[in-house]
C-alpha cells in the first residue's frame, strides 16, 4: 500500500521541531529513522498531516561521557551503538542487546530515541533503559525535564512524553567495576521481535548479587520489572534453591499477555527459562 498524502518539514534544531509540534498538535508526527513511521504510514495505520523530520539535528547524535554519566542522544542509530567502543566500555548491556534488533539495514536507519519513544513492548531498548536505571531527557515548550526510565513507559505504545515534547537524550550511569549485566531473548528467527526477552543488571560482590534488576520485554504492554524475583535474589548467596525461589516469585508476579503466536503459558515458561539463564550469567560475572 502507499502512504496517504502528508506535508514534510525537515528541521535543523530542537526548537524548530517543538514549534511545529505546538502548531500542528496531534496532526504532526516526528520522523527520526523512519523504520516504524514509514511502515505505519504505508499500512495506513496512521495519517499525520505533517511529518517533522528531525534527522538533521546534529546535537541529538552524540555519544559522550560526562562525569559518571553516559549520554546517548536520541538520534544515535542502533548501528552506531553496535559500533561504539564507548558504549561497550560504559554500558555493555546495550552492546549485548543491539544485534537482536531487526536486521542490519534497519539498524543502520533506526534510532535509539525512536525506539524508546515508540514504546513497542517487544522492543529491546526500553527494557535495557530500565535495567540500567537510565533517565530520559525530554524537551518541550516549557524547557527540559528528566523522566526515570521506570516511569516513562505507561502503556502499549504510550509514554510520559507530552504531544509537544521531543525525546532528546538519555542519561545512563556508567558501569561500576562491580556491575554485571545479562541479555537474552527467544525469537522465532534471529532479527524477529522476541517472544520473550530479559535485560538484567546487578552489582556482584563475591557470590552475592546486589540490587538486581530483571526487566522482561514482549510479555506485557510495557517492559515488566520483576520486583519480587529481584527481592528474592538481592543480597543472597546464589544456590539452586534461591534460583528456584526466584522462579516461583516470577510465576507469582508475571501474567504475560498472549500474542498471535504464543500463549500466556508459553511466554511465562520462556520467561522462567530466561530468568534462570540471566541469574547464572550475572553470577558468572559477565
Ligand atoms: C522489519 C522490522 C523489524 C524490526 N525489528 C525490531 C526488533 O526486533 N526490535 C526493535 O526494538 N525494533 C525493531 N524494529 C523497529 C526499529 O527498531 C525502529 O528503528 C524503531 O522502532 C524506531 O526508530 P526510528 O528511528 O526508525 O523511529 P521512527 O520510525 O522515525 O519513529 C518511531 C516513533 O517514535 C516517534 N519518535 C521518533 N523519534 C522521536 C523523538 N526523538 N522524540 C519523540 N518522538 C519520537 C515518531 O513520531 C514515531 O511515533 C523493526 C522494524 C522493522 C521495519
Ligand 1 centroid to Cα of residue 120, in Å, is: 8
Tell me the pLDDT band of 71, cut-offs 50, 70 and 90. Answer: very high
Ligand 1 centroid to Cα of residue 198, in Å, is: 20
pLDDT at 190: 85
pLDDT at 189: 87
pLDDT at 147: 98
Give yes or no for residue 286 having a pLDDT over 70. no
Can you tell me the distance from the alpha carbon of 55 to that of 189, in angstroms, rounded to the nearest whole number?
30
Contacts of residue 192, Cβ cutoff 8 Å, sequence gap at least 6: none
Query: Which residues approach ligand 1 with their CB closer than 6 A?
Result: 29-37, 39, 74, 101-102, 106, 110-111, 113-115, 117-118, 123-124, 161, 166-167, 193
Average pLDDT, the chain: 96
Largest CA distance in the chain: 60
Residue nearest to atom 20 of ligand 1 (CA): 115
Q: Is the dihedral of CA 75, 77, 83, 89 positive or negative?
A: positive
Residue nearest to atom 40 of ligand 1 (CA): 167
pLDDT in tens, 220-247: 999 999 999 999 999 998 999 999 999 9
Structural domains in the chain, CATH included, are: 7-53 (3.30.43.10), 62-173 (3.30.465.10), 180-284 (3.30.390.50)
Q: What value does the mean pLDDT take over residues 208-227?
A: 98
Contact 150, 114 (CB under 8 A): no
Can you tell me the distance from the alpha carbon of 137 to that of 198, in angstroms, rounded to the nearest whole number?
24
Q: What is the pTM of this model?
A: 0.97
pLDDT at 47: 84
Ligand 1 centroid to Cα of residue 38, in Å, is: 10
pLDDT at 113: 98
| SS3 label, residue 254 | coil
Can you tell me the distance from the alpha carbon of 123 to that of 114, in angstroms, rounded to the nearest whole number?
11
What is the DSSP code string of 158-211? Answer: EES--TT-EEEEEEEEPPPTTEEEEEEEE-SSTTSPPSEEEEEEEEEETTEEEE
| SS3 label, residue 135 | strand
Can you tell me the distance from the alpha carbon of 166 to that of 147, in angstroms, rounded to the nearest whole number?
12
Q: What value does the mean pLDDT take over residues 252-281?
A: 96
Ligand 1 centroid to Cα of residue 118, in Å, is: 6
pLDDT in tens, 1-55: 788 888 999 999 999 999 999 999 889 999 999 999 988 888 888 888 899 999 9
Contacts of residue 258, Cβ cutoff 8 Å, sequence gap at least 6: 264, 267
Q: Is the dihedral of CA 238, 239, 243, 248 positive or negative?
A: negative
Q: Is the dihedral of CA 229, 203, 120, 276 positive or negative?
A: negative
pLDDT in tens, 109-143: 999 999 999 999 999 999 999 999 999 999 999 99
Alpha helices in the chain (DSSP H): 14-24, 37-42, 78-83, 85-90, 92-97, 104-109, 112-118, 124-131, 227-233, 240-253, 264-284
- Grid coordinates of 243: 534460583
Contacts of residue 234, Cβ cutoff 8 Å, sequence gap at least 6: 209, 210, 211, 212
Tell me the pLDDT band of 179, cut-offs 50, 70 and 90. Answer: very high
pLDDT in tens, 190-205: 888 999 999 999 999 9
Amino acid at each position: 500500500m502507499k502512504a496517504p498524502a502528508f506535508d514534510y518539514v525537515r528541521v535543523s534544531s530542537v526548537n524548530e521541531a517543538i514549534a511545529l509540534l505546538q502548531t500542528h498538535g496531534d496532526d504532526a508526527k516526528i520522523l527520526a529513522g523512519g523504520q516504524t513511521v514509514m511502515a505505519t504510514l504505508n499500512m495506513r495505520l496512521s495519517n499525520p498531516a505533517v511529518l517533522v523530520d528531525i534527522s538533521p539535528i546534529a546535537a541529538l547524535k552524540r555519544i559522550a561521557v560526562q562525569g559518571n554519566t553516559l549520554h546517548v542522544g536520541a538520534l544515535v542509530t542502533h548501528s552506531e551503538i553496535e559500533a561504539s567502543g564507548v558504549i561497550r566500555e560504559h554500558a555493555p548491556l546495550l552492546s549485548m542487546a543491539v544485534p537482536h534488533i531487526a536486521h542490519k539495514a534497519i539498524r543502520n536507519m533506526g534510532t535509539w530515541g525512536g525506539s524508546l519513544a515508540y514504546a513497542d513492548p517487544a522492543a529491546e531498548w526500553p527494557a535495557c533503559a530500565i535495567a540500567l536505571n537510565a533517565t530520559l531527557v525530554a524537551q518541550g515548550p516549557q524547557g527540559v525535564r528528566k523522566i526515570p526510565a521506570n516511569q516513562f513507559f505507561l502503556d502499549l505504545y504510550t509514554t510520559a512524553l507530552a504531544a509537544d515534547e521531543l525525546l532528546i537524550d538519555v542519561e545512563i550511569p556508567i558501569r561500576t567495576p562491580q556491575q554485571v549485566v545479562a541479555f537474552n531473548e527467544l525469537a522465532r528467527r534471529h532479527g524477529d521481535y522476541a517472544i520473550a526477552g530479559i535485560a538484567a543488571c546487578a552489582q556482584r560482590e563475591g557470590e552475592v548479587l546486589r540490587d538486581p534488576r530483571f526487566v522482561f520485554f514482549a510479555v506485557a504492554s510495557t517492559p515488566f520489572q520483576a520486583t519480587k524475583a529481584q527481592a528474592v535474589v538481592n543480597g543472597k548467596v546464589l544456590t539452586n534453591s534461591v534460583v528456584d525461589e526466584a522462579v516461583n516469585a516470577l510465576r507469582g508476579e508475571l501474567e504475560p499477555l498472549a500474542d498471535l503466536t504464543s500463549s500466556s503459558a508459553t511466554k511465562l515458561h520462556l520467561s522462567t527459562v530466561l530468568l534462570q539463564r540471566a541469574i547464572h550469567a550475572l553470577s558468572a560475572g559477565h
